[in-house]
Structures are given as C-alpha cells and as structure tokens.
Amino acid sequence: METPPIIELRGIAKYFGDTCALYNINLEIANGEFLTLLGPSGCGKTSILRLISGFERPSKGDLLLNGRIINNTPPERRQVNTVFQSYALFPHMNVWDNVAFGLKMQRRPKGEISRRVAEVLRRVHLDALADRMPRQLSGGQQQRVAIARAIINNPLVLLLDEPFSALDFKLRKQMQFEIKHLQRQLGITFVFVTHDQEEAFAMSDRVVVMNEGEIRQIGTSQQIYEEPENLFVARFVGDINVLDAVITTLGENGICMADVEGVEFPLHVRREYEPGETVNVLLRPEDLKIHLEHEKSVESPFFLGRIEETVYKGATVDILLTLDNGKRLQAVEFFNEDDAEISYRPGDRVTVTWVAGWEVILTAESE
C-alpha cells in the first residue's frame, strides 16, 4: 500500500472472559477503501467493528487510526461512526431533527446546522422527505437517514454492521448499489459487515473472510472466489466441487499429472508438488464441461457419469451428477441464443471434464 493505512490492526486479540473472539488479527485498511468483513455467525466480525469504533478495547495488540495508536481513545474522539442494524433512529423526531441531533448536542451555530443538514440530506436523496417521521419511511429510506446521521460529522471511517438485514431481497440489491455509489462520492472509508457472500462481492474493494476469530483470506472479490487459499474460503463463497487427487508425475511449466478420482489428468499448479502427494482439486460448477456420452467431440481425459437431477433457475440450470466412482458433482448450464433448451435429463450418461487452468489445487490437509 502506497499511502499509510487509515486503520491498522496489529496483532489484535480480544477475549470476553474465557471466550476468545479474535486471535492475532493483522489488517490494514486503505484510505477510501470499501472493505467487507465476511464470515459465519460468531466469527468475530462485530468484535472487529466494536474495537475500531472504541466500544471495546483490544486484549492484546494495537489499533491505529491514521498512524496513531488509539487503543484507549474513547469512541467520541475517534472520527469513526457506526450505522447499526436497527438504524437506531429517534421515533419522535422527523428526518431533519434526527440528522441534526448530533450537531445540536455539540451546540453548533444554527446557520451551520441548517447548511450541513441540508447538504447531507441532498447527498442521500432525502431532501424531499425532511419533515417525515421515521414510521412514515420505507426501510431503505430509514437506512439512508441512519447513514446521513452517521456522515454529518465528516468521519474518517464509517462502520456498517449488517445494515441491510431488515430489508427485503429487492430493496437489499438496490441499497447495495446506492451505498456503493455513495461511498465512491463521499470518498470515506467504509468497513462493512455481512455474512452474505453475494453482498460482500457486490460492494467491496476487498473482502476479509473470517472464521472462528481468525482471518482466513484477504483479497478482491475475484481473488476470493477464483483463488481461494483454503477449503473453508472455497466452500463459504459459493458452490464448489472438491475432488481427491494424488500427484503422479512432477511436471514442467506449471503442469503436473495426477490421478484425480481414478482418472489421469494434467493439473495447472502454482507450486511444485512431489509425486505421491495428495491434493484437492477445486472446481466451481461453472468450471465443469459436460457432454452426452454418445457425442464424439469430447476432449480427453474425462470422467464418466450420470445426470441425477436438473433444476431450472431462469438464466441457468443447476445440474447434479454422479461420477461412476460414486463422487457427486454440481455443474451449471448457461442458456445461449442457439440453445435455449435444457440439454440433459436425469439418467443421461455424460462425460465430464473442466476448462483447463480453472482448477485450483490445494494440499489435501489445508482445511
């Protein structure tokens, strides 16, 4: 990173009594970045937010804001604001007063308050609704009030803890675009928490995948999806087929041969493997190529198998198949202009191979 990080967690651990919520977390967040903490319930995402906001203190390690250690700095002196799941709006105040509240508490001059509230309401497209009470707003509008309130003090960092959890599917998607757009306009660093992988991918510059108090991978959405560093990440971010393989010959130019589920395949590898080493071959459903067995244009090598089930999804068809050795795989068929019919039926015999180079190879014990 060229400019110093706006936030840095150095060797942070957090204990609640005997429970260790975070182990040795090291993380640098760049100024202006949209960073998402992604992971299952209880993995420690909210604990990281609460440390950054100052509602909790680290048990070990240092937390830095703009290069300064802030372990003991109280929340109100951090220039960090949080948007909570519940939005926490004042029900008896209209939108304007909700947004103006913090500035009034600071006893800012009236003219300044009016100017700043008007400006921030315009930014979140709520200027026409300034007189409404929270109960007269949709979920998405309430959310924008909460954001307006959080950005009115020009924080360096905005923390968002599952802010869409109360919204329905369609509104969630719309808000994802809006928040991402708003973040770009404002240039403020956003740290966003979610357990929803699609949401994380849709919004973030970088995603931090966590499990059981540890960071399992940090990367762009594409890196996390296409180059998972371990089985936990691979499985958490979408469907994945995990094939068992044994390296048979040490290859050249990044390719070695392996026995994959009983069939000899060339594998594209990132490092050298010894013959006899056991590995996992990871393939996303869209990496697999399927042909009906009687079709002649099949590349070799290939597996033989049988279609078990097809599930129509609109733009795609999910395919469940079983290889002749009993291994179950998930594949997907995309419709295109020439071929708008489902190509396979349960019971069809098929050959299965994959797009060369799209496989990810991990040592078998990396989970």
Instruction: Summarize as ranges the residues that interact with ligand ATP (CB under 6 A).
Output: 16, 19, 21, 39, 41-47, 195
- Measured from the CB atom, the residue of 43 and 113 that comes closer to ligand ATP is 43
- Measured from the CB atom, the residue of 71 and 154 that comes closer to ligand ATP is 71
Q: How many helices (H) and strands (E) in the chain?
A: 8, 20
Measured in residues, the chain has a length of 367
324 touches 305 (CB < 8 A): yes
Q: How far is the CB of 250 from ligand ATP (least distance, A)?
A: 42
Q: How far is the CB of 360 from ligand ATP (least distance, A)?
A: 26
Q: How far is the CB of 117 from ligand ATP (least distance, A)?
A: 32
Rounded-to-integer distance, Cα 73 and Cα 69, Å: 9
Q: How far is the CB of 42 from ligand ATP (least distance, A)?
A: 4
- Measured from the CB atom, the residue of 16 and 312 that comes closer to ligand ATP is 16
Contact residues for 144 (Cβ-Cβ < 8 A; gap 6+): 124, 125, 126, 178
Q: How many CB atoms lie within 10 A of CB 162?
A: 18
Q: How far is the CB of 54 from ligand ATP (least distance, A)?
A: 15
Q: How far is the CB of 56 from ligand ATP (least distance, A)?
A: 8
- Measured from the CB atom, the residue of 42 and 155 that comes closer to ligand ATP is 42
Q: How far is the CB of 75 from ligand ATP (least distance, A)?
A: 16
Q: How far is the CB of 111 from ligand ATP (least distance, A)?
A: 41
- Measured from the CB atom, the residue of 19 and 336 that comes closer to ligand ATP is 19
- Measured from the CB atom, the residue of 45 and 149 that comes closer to ligand ATP is 45
Give the bridge partners for 137, in sequence order.
none
